[in-house]
Amino acid sequence: MGRAPCCEKMGLKRGPWTPEEDKILVAHIHSHGHGNWRALPKQAGEPLPPSLPPSLRPSASQTHLRRLLSPSLARRRAAAPRSVPDLRCPCCFAGLLRCGKSCRLRWINYLRPDIKRGNFTDEEEQSIIQLHQLLGNRWSAIAARLPGRTDNEIKNVWHTHLKKRLDPGAQEQLEEASAAKKRKKPAAAARKREGKIKMRKLDALTAKAAPVLSSPDRSVSSTLTESTSTASAAEEQHGNSGSSASASASVKEECFTSSEESEEFQIDESFWSETLSMPLDDINDVCMEPHDAFGKPADGDMDYWLKVFMEGGGDDNNDGALDLPQI
DNA sequence: AAGACGTTCAACCGCTGCGGC
DNA sequence: GGCCGCAGCGGTTGAACGTCT
């Protein structure tokens, strides 16, 4: 229904973004915002504003740099057929040969100035677990309550770390359910729709609740900190090496030891620090609406959430005995 | 040292909801 | 009310990298 005719077959570029592309996209969004993603690549092909700060260079995460510097990737890029833009198409322009969808994803998941990069803290992981129990696989809803984290990132962390902490039986059930869902897709889709209506009601209920982790300095509410530290201690007692490793990793967060890593990180840091030092008005112009998702005060949020869940969530989970930490 | 295997995460795919016409 | 275009979402993929043998 109304599926946008994608231009990818008309020569749009795919794959990892280059620093140049990032620069173009960031510069464009800083100066124009992103009212229309689809038209953005064309507009972004227009000359950059002369006022673009020299420091406005792309982020340089380790993965990104690795990929950019990868010889095999360079070979693939060289071997790839040269993209031919179709100037009649609103998506295509020599300046930024990406579809709007790709631009949007890149901005939301990577270039946004309020993205928090680095390992997830124990508090964040516990929040994800709790929110996942509340909301299910609604990653965007979970991300909205974890400032600086994207749905994609949370989804990745869930699948790579957190899911494994669940007992194996539960994981098998999940996998089985997923397989069954694939077999019975139409019925599942109908149920999903029904479920979404229910979840909207839940959203309406919980919309009043501010983010779980909302303060800009990444601090968390005292209740949450308390509860998660208890949980971490319990995990360590059970000899959960994985979580212990992640705990120690989170301690190491943003504190790289090798010179190579710290150098790369410095690039990233300077980029973001300079970007973040932009006047607030500029940031608001970029349509971030940071106060919506991240700026609300967090006082009493957890209490509210727990109350909502205890009152309404018990039915679906039948036992209702969610293993929430003591507050 | 080298190959196999596992992990991570950016990016893509395809579906859905919503608003405009 | 139906169609169309768009943004947004969740699932999935695939390449780079890390670890194991």
Q: Six-digit token pair at A97?
A: 């040969």
- The verdict on residue A1 lying in a domain is no
- A231 and A157 within one domain: yes
Protein-to-nucleotide distance from the CA of A21 to the C1' of C21, whole angstroms:
42
Q: Determine whether the distance from the CB of A204 to the nearest atom of strand B is below 7 Å.
A: no
Q: Lowest-pLDDT range, A7-21, A54-68, A103-117?
A: A54-68
**Residue A55 pLDDT > 80, yes or no?**
no
- A156 and A55 within one domain: no
Chain position carrying tokens 């909301």: A135
Q: What is the mean pLDDT of residues A289-317?
A: 42
- A250 and A134 within one domain: yes
* Residue A166 pLDDT: 64
* Residue A136 pLDDT: 84
User: Is-contact A305 A134, C-beta < 8 A?
Assistant: yes
**Final residue belonging to a domain, choices A71, A86, A111:** A111
| CATH number for A244 | 1.10.10.60
- A268 and A160 within one domain: yes
Protein-to-nucleotide distance from the CA of A308 to the C1' of C7, whole angstroms:
29
Among chain A residues 225-264, those with CB within 7 Å of any atom of strand B: none
* Residue A196 pLDDT: 41
Q: Which residues touch strand C (CB under 7 A)?
A: A 1-5, 36-38, 63, 66-67, 69-70, 72-73, 76, 90, 100-101, 104-105, 108, 137-141, 151-152, 155-156, 159, 178, 182
- A32 and A150 within one domain: no
- A24 and A61 within one domain: yes
* Residue A125 pLDDT: 84
Instruction: Kindly give, in sequence order, each residue whose CB lies less than 8 Å from that of residue A43, ignoring residues fewer than 6 positions away.
Output: A28, A32
**Residue A233 pLDDT > 60, yes or no?**
no
Q: Lowest-pLDDT range, A30-39, A45-54, A123-132, A221-230?
A: A221-230
What is d(CA A62, CA A269) in angstroms, rounded to the nearest whole number? 12
Longest Cα pair distance anywhere in chain A, in angstroms? 63
Protein-to-nucleotide distance from the CA of A137 to the C1' of C21, whole angstroms:
37
**Residue A21 pLDDT > 70, yes or no?**
yes
| Eight-state DSSP code of residue A66 | H
| Eight-state DSSP code of residue A37 | T
Protein-to-nucleotide distance from the CA of A93 to the C1' of C21, whole angstroms:
50
Q: Determine whether the distance from the CB of A156 to the nearest atom of strand B is below 7 Å.
A: yes
Q: What is the mean pLDDT of residues A224-238?
A: 37
Task: Indicate the Cα dihedral angle A200, A204, A210, A211, nearest 10°.
Answer: 0
| Kind plus residue range of the DSSP H or E element containing A160 | none
- A23 and A48 within one domain: yes
Q: Lowest-pLDDT range, A16-20, A30-34, A131-135, A318-322?
A: A318-322
* Residue A251 pLDDT: 34
- A138 and A98 within one domain: no
Q: Determine whether the distance from the CB of A9 to the nearest atom of strand B is below 7 Å.
A: no
- A139 and A63 within one domain: no
- The verdict on residue A318 lying in a domain is no
* Structural domain boundaries enclosing A245: 122-166+209-312
- Per-residue pLDDT band at A241 (split at 50, 70, 90): very low
User: How far are the Cα atoms of A48, A68, A193 from residue A45, in angstroms, in the given order?
Assistant: 8, 22, 39
- A233 and A84 within one domain: no
